[in-house]
Amino acid sequence: MIGARPRVTRVTPFDVTAWTALDRVAAPTFQARPIWAQALADSNAALEASPLACTFDDGLTCVVPLVKVRSRFGWRVYSGMPLGGYTVVLNADGRVADAAHASAAFSAVLASGAHSISITPWPLGDADMSGLRGTTVKRETSVIDLSGGAEAAIARMDGNSRRMAGQAQRRGVNCEVARGAAAIDAYYAMLEESAIRWGRERPTFPKRLLEALVERGGDDVEIWFAMFEGQAIAGGVMLYGSEEANFWSAAMRSDFGPLRPSNALNVALITAAARRGVRWYNLGESEGLPGVARFKQGLGAATIPYATWRRERPSYALYSALRTWMTPKHKRAAAVRLEG
């Protein structure tokens, strides 16, 4: 019937090797790519890349990138994606599905009978989630539109933010990509220092995940440093999809804050992202840090709302509550980061 909404007739596991073959056409966001799911599995034995395929009544098959949380009790727990990541719906040729098929696929996966499933659709996609059933966690990310090029994006910055970036450059701060094990060590040490300053015992992700991302990601994973007099004073990790540059992790040595290295670093990253031809520069959530949110606004970032959708069976909800009650506080926080 003309105008009928597509209907999913079957949801089945999709082969990871076949998903990897689809990555010839990279997903718009890095975190919906097999590289992300496989790196998560490399760094955490509880996770495995586990995409699902949705077969439609119109003959189309779409793929929903997900990871599965292994359980010794047989629970079927899926996430798309852990650690604040996103997912999208892909056609069989690797390209993004249209809004109607994407919406139907997300709805079918949520209702597929898993004991627990959470889905965070890419905030910059066009899937309509309004009719979905499940609980939601409301979120916001900060995004800069690069469609007009780097110069236009930098011109839209708050004058003070742009002036501080220029000031950093005049004082001798320069920004560059660093590669290899030494870069990973240097960045993670900086991140550990920053985590303590933010009131955390440790960073929100293990060093092994960064190593796995670098190993698997090739040119689509970059570690950047703001350098001053031969030493790294601020840094960040960039993850590239076909349409989005995701400033996934950032850190700074507090003693060098007056040099404004983060301003200079963002100008360099915006320029590099625009040069690659991506549309969006995603600065991510501000994690309840109002100062960070104001900094992103000064860079000209718009606030984009999105949500994580979750459905779980009562039996798993009870198990999860008991597990939370019995788990030490520091391990409980790590589990929340994994599932959120």
Decide if pLDDT at 174 tops 80: yes
Q: What does the pLDDT read at residue 130?
A: 78
Closest-CA residue to 312 (of 129, 117, 80)? 117
CA angle 96, 17, 316 (to 5 degrees): 80
Count of all residues that appear for the chain in the document: 340
Residues 6+ apart with CB under 8 A from 162: 154, 155, 263, 267
Q: What does the pLDDT read at residue 282?
A: 98
Under CATH, which number does the domain 8-136+309-339 receive? 3.40.630
81: helix, strand or coil? coil
Biggest alpha carbon distance in the chain? 68
Between the alpha carbon of residue 339 and those of residues 84, 175, 201, the distances in Å are 9, 34, 19
Dihedral angle, C-alpha 158, 162, 168, 170, nearest 10 °: -150
Residues 6+ apart with CB under 8 A from 73: 319
User: Which stretch of DSSP H or E encloses residue 224?
Assistant: strand 221-228
What tens digit of pLDDT does each residue of 135-164 get?
899 999 999 999 999 999 999 999 999 999
* 8 A C-beta contact, residue 223 and residue 214: yes
CA distance 130 to 151: 36
Q: How confident is the model at residue 336 (pLDDT cuts 50, 70, 90)?
A: very low
Q: Which CATH entry fits the domain spanning 142-304: 3.40.630.30, 3.40.50.1820, 3.40.50.720, 3.40.50.300?
A: 3.40.630.30
Sign of the dihedral through C-alpha 29, 32, 38, 42: positive
Could you tell me which residues are beta bridge partners of residue 10? Answer: 55
Residue 334's φ and ψ, nearest 5 degrees, are -65, -40
Between the alpha carbon of residue 252 and those of residues 171, 226, 258, the distances in Å are 17, 9, 11
Q: What does the pLDDT read at residue 321?
A: 78
What tens digit of pLDDT does each residue of 253-301 get?
989 999 999 999 999 999 999 999 999 999 999 877 788 889 999 999 9
End-to-end, the C-alpha distance of the chain in Å comes to 39
Query: pLDDT over 90 for what percent of the chain?
Result: 79
Instruction: Please report, for the chain, the start and end positions of each structural domain, with discontinuous segments joined by +.
Output: 8-136+309-339, 142-304
DSSP state of 93: T
Q: What does the pLDDT read at residue 327?
A: 60
Q: What does the pLDDT read at residue 199?
A: 81
Fill in the amino acid letter for 63. V
* 8 A C-beta contact, residue 56 and residue 272: no
Intrachain domains 8-136+309-339 and 142-304 with the same fold: yes
Residues 197-219: what's their mean pLDDT?
93
Query: pLDDT over 70 for what percent of the chain?
Result: 94
Q: What does the pLDDT read at residue 142?
A: 96
